[in-house]
Structure 1
Amino acid sequence: NGTLSTSVYHKPAAEPYVVPFISDHPRHVFENIVQTSLRRAVKYSSTFQLFNDERRYIKSTFLYNGYPSSFIDKTFRKFFSDYISSRSFLPFLDNEAQFIQMRIASSRQPSRQQSQVETRIATLTNDNDHLVEDLDKKEEFIIQENKKPNKLQNKLIIHYTHEKIFNTRKRDLHRIFQETFVDTPIMETKLIVGNTNRKNTMKELIQKRPTQTILKNKTKASIMNKIK
């Protein structure tokens, strides 16, 4: 007839076993097991009749596992307390309107898996926000670093090793620079010419321990070191 009907599925080979009432568990564990079964029945039963069938199956299952009838009825009444009268003799829903109202309210509550997914998404969102903030801070730091004046900006540095034949090297370089780039924007660049003195060979040879590259006879050098 085109009507979709749903109910709690039980495997044909499944046996009606739950945590026995005589097991060493806190009392709230047994209550949670009963309420979870009822919550699943409300959520998956599309009609009031299917829900009642599942409710009877739940009660018989817990009776089979040693749960006292008074404990089951008390847990049922606690679960349905918002939808049945406190003066009601029956500890469960007795009309379809109550069932529909409870089913609508139950469908609005996210399942455990949905809650976990939402929590994971919220965590990832917060992490992404932190990443964005960190990137913004890094970009701001880079911008500030770029704004700092560069001491070497607009400077051309030439460095060479000085020898006697290069006595006029600095003066010549400045003159060539002036003549080549006169009346051009490059003249705003400051030319800096520097030099280092070449080491005196005599000074290198009179060191206490000359380098091996200078000594021609390594064997003789080792003997001299032993004598010292």
Structure 2
Amino acid sequence: MRQIALDTETTGLSFAAGDRVIEIGCVELIDRQLTGNEFHCYLQPDRAVNPEALKVHGITDAFLVGKPRFADIAEEFLNYIGDAELIIHNAPFDSGFLNHELRKWRAQTPLLHERGSVIDTLDMARKRHPGQRNNLDALCKRYDVNNSRRDVHGALLDAEILAALYLAMTGGQVTLHLGNQSLTPNTSNAPAATRHLSSDRPPLPVIHADAVSCAAHDARLAAIAAASGDQCLWLRDDA
């Protein structure tokens, strides 16, 4: 399974008002492992960076002079993402900007959600943690992901952090592996997704189902068996 954690930085908050993408950062995961295959570029937006956006990412107009335009990297970017599943925090924002850039480049080009599925980790976090802050910094603290290098927003670093957060939020992986290097939590090298289990943690309690729950369970299995022509797997002797 190929997935791409993706982030952008922009000149402002609204592509409808003329704001443009100025940085794209992507990291590749295959079967929930970082591969080291990254895509990163800065872009010349042909307009000034909004002062409020500058406070967030620190990317100045002077720095962007001479950088390629989106049209210059569009083919390379699309070849990189292919039909991979995209992981984006606040997907409507980043995908909205990128889809706008794609349509400015070629009017009939397929949009991101038409190329593959898109996972919005902000939507995922809001469902899991309603009423709480769910920006990247808050989630890093909640899931113990190292974001110590994140002095300002940067698309590539945020994509790396996002990959770590996604793995932590979806479970099943404790450490990110990049090539032969194992990334552990709280290192200065890169973000890592970890969940700590203390050695002195008491054993988890075992709660047995009561008679009412057992009866409801048996009734559900009987209903499944009736609806499936006695093909309920959970009632088979070898199940």
TM over 0.5: no
Instruction: Considering fraction of residues, name the structure with more helix.
Output: 1
Which protein shows a greater Rg? 1
Q: TM-score, normalised by structure 2?
A: 0.23
- Relative to the length of structure 1, the TM-score reads 0.24
Q: Which has the higher strand share?
A: 2
